[in-house]
Amino acid sequence: MNLLLPAVEALGAGAAAFGALAWVCASPTNQFWGTVHARANVASPGVYALSFDDGPTRESTTAILDTLAELGVRATFFVIGVNARRCPDLLVRMDAEGHLVANHSLDHTHWSMFRGNRYWDRQLREADRIIQGAIGKRPALFRPPMGVKTCFVMGAARRNGHAVIAWSRRGIDGVTTTAPRILERLVPRTQGGDVVALHDGIEPHSRRSPAATIAALKPLILQLRKRGLRPAPLHELLNLPAYAPHSAAATS
């Protein structure tokens, strides 16, 4: 039995180290690899930011944009490059209606956390190129797929001039859910300074339906409004540039 103890202890230590590394990579607020913006650093009473991932997807993103227009709300859309290539007109609409268009990688591959510098440089640059081709501005904000950060992800963001954005509240609507569940998660918990993460689109490796998010959005905004909370553009809440300085009509 004593002969087995070193092996057991080594396995335990290895499991603990793996768990710590996984937390460092996946925790939205962890700063181990570099600066990550998950909520406002200063008190922002009554103000939060709405953000959407994985679009644009024709039907669902259009429905989300219609609701935001109806309520006079501006949001941030972290778009996937291959989706944006299919629907550049939706990026044009986002920009024209005062929303921010930000980078969510080229193709949102689920195994991308195991890839290195060259891969991540291409993911960011190609997505930027597609977005800039549609709206004439290069994003300065980037949200890693699934929020997973590694030294390679963060290094690519730094080299390409992107602030890395996470969230402080999320609807967990990237998987099958319902509108009531989204509201139960967000309405009582959202506070001033929060960055709320939802999903307007369907990433290329998923068949999830965005119907719950579409149904939840209007009551979410209205119920938060009753609590005295109003959505503000993400770059204003976090005091960050939205687009690269040399971009045409850059927003700061």
Both structure tokens of 199: 């999903």
Q: Is 107 known to be catalytic? A: no
Q: Is 246 known to be catalytic? A: no
- Closest to 160 in 3D by CA, of 233, 106, 200: 106
Write phi, then psi, for 52 (nearest 5 degrees): -130, 140
215-218's contacts with Cβ under 8 Å and 24+ in sequence apart are 215/179, 216/171, 216/173, 216/179, 216/180, 216/182, 216/183, 217/64, 217/67, 217/68, 218/67, 218/70, 218/71
Strand partners, 26: none
The catalytic position among 37, 108, 162, 199 is 199
Distances (CA, A) of 108 to 55, 149, 163: 11, 13, 18
The catalytic position among 37, 53, 128, 162 is 53
- Based on the number of CB atoms within 10 Å of its own CB, is 72 exposed (0-12), middle (13-18) or buried (19 or more)? exposed
Report which residue type is found at 213.
T
Alpha carbon distance 29, 37 (integer Å): 7
Q: Are 160 and 124 in contact (CB under 8 A)?
A: yes
* Residues with catalytic function: 53, 199
